[in-house]
Amino acid sequence: MKGRRLYLDGVSVVFDGFRALNNLALIVEPGELRAVIGPNGAGKTTMMDVITGKTRPTEGVVSFGDADLTRLDEAAIANLGIGRKFQKPTVFDALTVFENLELALKAPRGPLPCLRWALTGEAKSRIGATLREIGLEERAQDPAAILSHGQRQWLEIGMLLMQDPDLLLVDEPVAGMTDAETEHTARLLAGIAGRRSVVVVEHDLDFVRALNCRVTVLAEGSLLSEGSIDHVQKDERVIEVYLGR
């Protein structure tokens, strides 16, 4: 199951004549950490939507390993091993931190297996390990509703870890975080990469620099530039879209 590459080629998404993505190409190799940046409206979130099945591309190829993602729904794509963290953290408020992680834990997803589900020692220790990793051990029995913004972000990252995905898509993980929280998040993500592919969409260039990885710059739905952070920051076209025209 491991070692699949994410492959996008010629992907366009048209909403009522507006091209949110325009002939986009992107390849993420297994185990790679990739940052995606771009001005507002560049199509970063639409790209995530296309990969996770939320939006169907008007044209183009989207595949993960040999699976054609344009034919699958969100749940099937998630079960292929693609996890997503949203810009606005969404956790289940009515459930405890522990129960949120338990729901995300990789296990058969049908109604009957869920009815018969019993928490084994192994599952418990995996949840415990993730609780430590995201620093929420003390809050395990608290309802997710009372967590702070940063803690919700970590819980969501923890839920991604429980899914044990091969590819993680992370949308603006540090938006609205304090410096200390941002640092903790950068450590979390760095620990995740290497074991799996991670694509991070972010506005914060300092954070992207800290990730120390290949950077893809999007503008107006297309690939503008790709390379190291120093390379793209020197790229004339990148400077133009970021600093004005």
Partner 1 sequence: MSVTALPGARASGLRIGLRAVLIGAVLVLAAMPVLNQLPQDHALHVSDFLVSVTGKWICYAILALSLDLAWGYAGILSLGHGAFFALGGYAMGMHLMRLIGPRGVYGHPVLPDFMVFLGYQELPWYWLGFDSFAFAMLMVLLVPGLVAFVLGWLCFRSRITGVYLSIITQAMTYALMLAFFRNDMGFGGNNGFTDFKELLGMPLSTTAARAALFYASLVALVGCYLLCRWITGTKYGRVLTAIRDAESRVRFLGYGVTRHKLFAFVLSAMMAGLAGALYVPQVGIINPSEFSPGNSIEAVVWVAVGGRGTLVGAVLGAFSVNGLKTWLTSTAPDLWLFVLGGLFVLVTLLLPRGLIGLVQGRGQGGPK
Instruction: Note whether 173 and 200 are within 8 A (CB).
Output: yes
The 26-45 contact track toward partner 1, x by CB under 8 A, reads: --------------------
Contacting range for partner 1; rule: CB under 8 A; set: 22-30, 39-47, 105-113, 236-244: 105-113
Angstrom distance (rounded) from CA 202 to CA 87: 10
- Which of 10, 60, 128, 143 is in the footprint of partner 1 by CB under 8 A? 143
According to the binding rule CB under 8 A, does residue 114 interact with partner 1? Answer: yes
Instruction: Find the Cα–Cα–Cα–Cα dihedral 72, 107, 167, 23, rounded to 10°.
Output: 10
Contacting range for partner 1; rule: CB under 8 A; set: 21-29, 97-105, 180-188, 219-227: 97-105
Angstrom distance (rounded) from CA 154 to CA 150: 6
According to the binding rule CB under 8 A, does residue 109 interact with partner 1? Answer: yes
Residue nearer to partner 1 on the CB measure, 127 or 238: 127
Residue among 62, 82, 103, 84 nearest 1 (CA)? 82
Vertex 151: Cα angle to 145 and 157 (nearest 5): 105
- Which of 1, 66, 115, 245 is in the footprint of partner 1 by CB under 8 A? 115
DSSP E strands, the chain: 6-15, 18-28, 33-37, 59-64, 67-68, 82-85, 167-171, 197-201, 214-219, 222-227
Instruction: Compute how many residues bind partner 1; rule: CB under 8 A.
Output: 37
According to the binding rule CB under 8 A, does residue 150 interact with partner 1? Answer: no
Instruction: Note whether 35 and 225 are within 8 A (CB).
Output: no
According to the binding rule CB under 8 A, does residue 94 interact with partner 1? Answer: yes
According to the binding rule CB under 8 A, does residue 79 interact with partner 1? Answer: yes
Contacting range for partner 1; rule: CB under 8 A; set: 37-45, 58-66, 94-102, 194-202: 94-102
At 46, the amino acid letter reads T
> What is the contact surface with partner 1 in residues (CB under 8 A)?
52, 54, 73-76, 78-79, 83-84, 86, 90-96, 98-99, 102-104, 109-111, 114-117, 119, 141, 143, 145-146, 159, 163
